[in-house]
Amino acid sequence: MTNHLYDKENLKNLSKLKELAPEQLQAFSEFNAAVMTEGALTKKEKEIIAVAIAHVTECPYCIDSHTRRAKAEGASLEELVEAVFVVAGVEAGGVVTHSTHIDNAMDPEADDTLYRRSNLKKLIKLNKFAPEGFRSYSAFSRTALKDGKLSGKFKEMIAVAVAHATQCPYCIDVHTKNAVKLGCSNEELAETVLVTSALLARGAYAHIANLIQSYGE
């Protein structure tokens, strides 16, 4: 029995999936391969998105494998770090935008529809009651998404991916519109979403290694 829950040696347990769930393993492998094949997005771009989403799912196996793959496709450390700061910015934004529900919760006459675009107008109250924090958040968000080693367009695509991974409708709406304004195509958006889907599935898949390890102890 190991004292480390996350040990690369755990991944050897995944070899048992050929016996435990061969049909599901085959379908997953084909899905993952198809999604990561070069298309409207390059393999490098897909791997950078994968690294970003691995930080959303907080899967160390995925962070390790996709960082290595992104590096092999030519991604620099600076590009990968910028991608992860986009994750941090969008996750912070998801919390900030959902603060609008506090106002609804305190209003006995509030509409029963929880997610309205117009809710975002209530962000002014967060600025009112915590102005310094709100200004600092806004500055961080702008900085995380501006042009750098990665273009603003690609960062907005990463933001769309993160928004889907965190299931924030406000973030999906805002960052999809921003990405389109910067020239993102339907094909690029579709591939971005499917990479995100594959990475959430991969996080669950990778952790089966821990399940098998624990079951055998």
Is residue 4 a part of any domain in this protein? no
CA distance 49 to 107: 39
Give the pLDDT confidence score for residue 111 in this predicted structure: 78
101 belongs to a structural domain: yes
DSSP 19-84: HH-HHHHHHHHHHHHHHHS-SSS-HHHHHHHHHHHHHHHT-HHHHHHHHHHHHHTT--HHHHHHHH
Give the list of residues 6+ apart from residue 191 with CB closer than 8 angstroms, or none. 35, 39, 40, 41, 46
Given a contact cutoff of 8 angstroms between Cβ atoms, the answer to whether 168 and 97 are in contact is yes
Question: Is 16 among the domain residues?
Answer: no
How confident is the prediction along the chain (217 residues), in pLDDT tens digits per residue?
556 777 888 899 999 999 999 999 999 999 999 999 999 999 999 999 999 999 999 999 999 999 999 999 999 999 999 999 999 999 999 999 998 888 888 888 887 887 888 888 888 888 899 999 999 999 999 999 999 999 999 999 999 999 999 999 999 999 999 999 999 999 999 999 999 999 999 999 999 999 999 998 7
Residue 3 placed within a domain: no
DSSP state of 167: T
pLDDT in the model for residue 152: 98
Q: What is the pLDDT of residue 2?
A: 59
Q: Which pLDDT score is estimated for 169?
A: 94
Cα separation of 144 and 132, whole Å? 18
Is residue 105 in a domain? yes
Residue 25 corresponds to which amino acid?
L
Q: Look up residue 100 and give its two tokens.
A: 């609008």
Q: What CATH number does residue 63 fall under? A: 1.20.1290.10
- State the residue range of the domain holding 132: 42-216
Q: Is residue 192 part of a domain?
A: yes
Residue 21 contacts by C-beta under 8 Å, 6 or more apart in sequence?
A: none
Total domains in the chain come to: 1
Would residue 21 count as lying in a domain? Answer: no
**Residue 156: what pLDDT?**
98
